[in-house]
Structures are given as structure tokens and as C-alpha cells.
């Protein structure tokens, strides 16, 4: 029992067949001893370069930017130098300020994450949202109990400052719509420039 298609399929047969080297390559080792992953690595911060700097500078001022193609007219996110829809080049794609409105497409409540700094944030809600301008965006939903989340729920962008001073776009329930019951306390704030 336990094989696919039988009355008890807990997936254990898949784990037994997984090559051991797949997981072994993910964990640094020294001899026969596992070496802890450095606490200095950050998995939630961008590597800012000349191309993405306008995006991160806008976030620090409380604005979410998208890229829009001058040829096909479609917006996209994450920022790319070319249009992923019609392949128009860098000279045809420009930055545009997004409305900050979105609808919840899907989500998952994360209860365990050992990568820094996520371990201190659990549980948190990882999500994909449909931006009003069309693109989908991976993000986090804040200030809302998981039990109150609904597909299509109206959301609005807010920004969270990291310990390194980088402002990251996250989403919360839209104050213009009826707020969900049992909202959790705020973990976000407006960037200094947006508070003026």
C-alpha cells in the first residue's frame, strides 16, 4: 500500500525514491559534519543595480513602479529591460507609477522558514496579487488574519523597511473596502518621504 492510486497515498513512496544527493547538495558540509548556513546572508533583499535603482528609490518614497511597453502597451512586473510580451527593446519600455491597488490571487501562510530573516517573522502570508494595471506580483499580505483572506480581496500597497534601510512593497486589506474582522496589529509604515 502507499503507492499512487491506492486507497492510502501519503506520498511516502516519492520520498523513498528521491536521490539523496539532491538534498545533500543544498547543505554545506565539512567532512562528515554539517556546517551551519551563515546568518549574514539575506534572502529578502534585492541586489540593486543601475537598472533597478529607480524601482527601489521609488519604494523608499512610497511609490510602486511598473514597466510599460510603448509598443504593445502592456505593463509588467518584475522590472525587465525589455517587454516580456512583445520583446520590444529597452528604448520602448518605460517606468510608470502603479496605482497601488491589487486583488488577492492566491496565498500561503508560512509557519516555518529557517532562512534569515524569515524565521523571526513566522507565521507570515506569502501571496501573489493581481495589480490593477494587469501584472501579477509576488509579495506578502500584512495586517490581516489568515482566516480573513479571500480570493479577489481588494488590497493596497504599503512598504516595509528592512534592517538595511531598503523599503519593500507589501500589501494590506484596502481601507476603502470593508475591513476583515480580527486584523492583526500593523507591522508596516509609510516610508519617510510618503509621510510628508
What does the domain layout of the chain look like in residue ranges? 53-177
- List strand residue ranges (DSSP E) for 42-190, in order: 65-69, 75-76, 93-97, 101-110, 124-131, 136-141, 154-161, 167-173
In this structure, are residues 156 and 190 in contact, taking their beta carbons and an 8 Å threshold?
Answer: no
Give the lowest-confidence range in 65-79, 113-127, 138-152.
113-127
Q: What is the residue whose three cell numbers read 529557517?
A: 114
Q: Which cell goes with 186? A: 500593523
- Give yes or no for residue 39 having a pLDDT over 80: no
- Give yes or no for residue 12 having a pLDDT over 90: no
Whole-angstrom Cα distance, residue 137 to residue 78?
7
For residue 34, the surrounding DSSP H or E stretch is: strand 33-34
- What pLDDT was estimated at residue 192? 56
Query: Closest Cα partner for 105 from 151, 150, 144, 148?
Result: 151
- Give yes or no for residue 139 having a pLDDT over 60: yes
Query: Mean pLDDT: which of 13-17, 34-38, 93-97, 174-178 is highest?
Result: 93-97
CA distances from 25 to 20, 21, 28, 79, 144 (A): 9, 6, 7, 31, 37
Amino acid at each position: 500500500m502507499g503507492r499512487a492510486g491506492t486507497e492510502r497515498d501519503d506520498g511516502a513512496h516519492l520520498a523513498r525514491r528521491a536521490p539523496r544527493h539532491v538534498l545533500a547538495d543544498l547543505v554545506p558540509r565539512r567532512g562528515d559534519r554539517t556546517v551551519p548556513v551563515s546568518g549574514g546572508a539575506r534572502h529578502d533583499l534585492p541586489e540593486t543595480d543601475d537598472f533597478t535603482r529607480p524601482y527601489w528609490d521609488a519604494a523608499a518614497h512610497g511609490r510602486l513602479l511598473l514597466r510599460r511597453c510603448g509598443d504593445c502597451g502592456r505593463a509588467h512586473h518584475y522590472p525587465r529591460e525589455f517587454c516580456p510580451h512583445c520583446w520590444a527593446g529597452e528604448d520602448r519600455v518605460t517606468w510608470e507609477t502603479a496605482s497601488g491597488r491589487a486583488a488577492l490571487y492566491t496565498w500561503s501562510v508560512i509557519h516555518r522558514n529557517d532562512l534569515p530573516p524569515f524565521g523571526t517573522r513566522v507565521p507570515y502570508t506569502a501571496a501573489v496579487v493581481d495589480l490593477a494595471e494587469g501584472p501579477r506580483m509576488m509579495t506578502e499580505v500584512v495586517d490581516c488574519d489568515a482566516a480573513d483572506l479571500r480570493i479577489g480581496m481588494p488590497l493596497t500597497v504599503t512598504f516595509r523597511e528592512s534592517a538595511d534601510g531598503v523599503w519593500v512593497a507589501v500589501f494590506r486589506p484596502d481601507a476603502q473596502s470593508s475591513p476583515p474582522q480580527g486584523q492583526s496589529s500593523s507591522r508596516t509604515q509609510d516610508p519617510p518621504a510618503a509621510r510628508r
